[in-house]
Structure 1
């Protein structure tokens, strides 16, 4: 028996329950892990509230990221043994392989041994944010030195990861946040420029910063009205990658900007990287190299104990965090 987090109906954070259930032994190709820390993601709040791409059967579990110690392995598992310190690459289905629990089972393909120098909090906080940012900026947009890249929702864990990756390859990250409250923090965490979209004219500020070169790459999880000023400031042949839809407003299609500048507007899910073994291996190598060199370093907004998972989800939905929320087990 082990304690896990489940919910029996859709709703707010209060529907989450910590319950004791039996965790079966790992099947062939699977690994069972004693969890030490969890990384929280907005997708988990969406699943809980009934707004995610998966439809759970109740009672449902949840969670995409964890780190811990291997307890036992199933048949056919090689290179991973009991006692290894590991972290979990987010699976395609968190309903099938949930991470919120004291003891969890995952396919060995999603289990990564990590250097002992990594803390449990760091190990639990790295894969979703860096895989998402890497897949968009490096794998798809081919971000390179001297590019201007706009990162909206910049104080989120993915936003901060994108800023770090941009600096790692020599690009210039422009952070977009709603107000100037987080401006100094974003500058201190690597943003070359910060624009407060509720206080400044986004289009004119972007054109002022980038000059005739314009913005080649935009990474946006917001949508809505921001599309028009973003595309107006983009360079010919630029690419806007949309990986969310946080805005409640309709998203206009900026037809004339797209036509006149030959822009690419592309939807993106991190599952593209996770579901392709070759692309995933390239991503893991890039991220681990960056973490070992210090170019990449997860920013932890706040840490909660496992018993406070409801409070952790309330904080997740408050939009007050700067970086990643971690739960220790």
Structure 2
């Protein structure tokens, strides 16, 4: 039988183990995907440790909100896809049941998109969450335009890197925020127009200097917490703050500037909307075709080494996405 990664209790990486489960036949409107690779995301770590935002029933819970593979079977009446077609999982809202950490998953056909030509399997596994989140937050929510100065926190992470690429692609000016000066060259190479390193620089003063005194038009905050106060001060009056991350669970301050537009963004705001997903897919396809959008891969593991992949994630030293490849047994 096919293999799937599950956990029966919350805890560290060692709670993950590989078991065998029967394949699930797709119902009308569903598709079964043979997974070729999946990416490991911070949300997976949170869910595995018991710190997720929604209850996860145990035992035998699955993980995985991102992956790529080929269509293995179609449910009755399912159209728009063909068996053998390479696809990307666009949404896995019930990951504890249908997560991508497996050889096969079955989900609604509306939750997969065609894999962009030109992406290898590890890249395809790692592209969607980062780029769809950055695109949804910056383009769909904030209405980012050419010339906008965009301040991006946690810039070395997957969403941060995607946000810099998308800003560059549109003609905006990405300003990367990091805690470590040593990451400056890496972030400049990844597309930042300038880097603000908080271990040596004042955030507000630096952003003012980089924007001729006006402040950032858009702030994309992937961290949250009390440090958001500096981001509020670094934004221009009438600008936009989007909070899309949860790295700091402490309460964030309320903005004193009533002209500042603030949004709380979650990926499922858009990835469950078929119309927006098609816009995202078209944008991604064009960017990949032109070479402007491509995810950075840090390290690739195999399914048997999924525990090591999670240990690597917890170290916090990765520069790019962590990917796990899946090769079904014959």
Q: TM-score higher than 0.5 here?
A: yes
- Is the contact between residue 153 and residue 177 of structure 1 (CA under 8 Å) also seen in structure 2? yes
Residue 30 of structure 1 pairs with residue 27 of structure 2? no
Match of 2:307 in 1: 310
- Is the contact between residue 92 and residue 274 of structure 1 (CA under 8 Å) also seen in structure 2? no
Q: Distance in 2 between matches of 1:134 and 1:227?
A: 21
Runs (4+) off by over 6 Å: none
- Is the contact between residue 31 and residue 73 of structure 1 (CA under 8 Å) also seen in structure 2? yes
Q: Distance in 2 between matches of 1:158 and 1:323?
A: 10
Q: For structure 1, which segment, 160-169 or 226-235, has the greater mean C-alpha deviation from structure 2 after superposition? A: 226-235
1:269-328: CA deviations, max 9, x gaps? 011111222222212211221111111011111111111111111111222111211111
Residue 152 of structure 1 pairs with residue 153 of structure 2? yes
Matching of residues 166-315 of structure 1 within 5 Å: 166-255=167-256, 258-259=257-258, 262-315=259-312
Residue 320 of structure 1 pairs with residue 317 of structure 2? yes
TM-score by length of 1: 0.95
Matching of residues 89-104 of structure 1 within 5 Å: 89-104=90-105
Matching of residues 1-16 of structure 1 within 5 Å: 1-16=1-16
- Is the contact between residue 11 and residue 48 of structure 2 (CA under 8 Å) also seen in structure 1? yes
Q: Distance in 2 between matches of 1:103 and 1:224?
A: 38
TM-score by length of 2: 0.95
Unaligned 5+ runs, structure 2: none
Q: Offset of 1:221 from its aligned partner? A: 1.5
1:239-286: CA deviations, max 9, x gaps? 11001221254422242xx23xx1122211011111222222212211
Q: Distance in 2 between matches of 1:286 and 1:92?
A: 22
Q: Distance in 2 between matches of 1:225 and 1:204?
A: 18
Match of 2:109 in 1: 108
Question: Secondary structure of 2:192's match?
Answer: coil
Q: Distance in 2 between matches of 1:117 and 1:214?
A: 38
1:78-113: CA deviations, max 9, x gaps? 121221111111222212421110121121111222
RMSD: 1.4
Question: Secondary structure of 1:17's match?
Answer: strand
CA 1:147/1:115 → structure 2, altered by over 3 Å: closer, same or farther?
closer
1:38-60: CA deviations, max 9, x gaps? 11111111111111122111220
Question: Secondary structure of 1:11's match?
Answer: coil
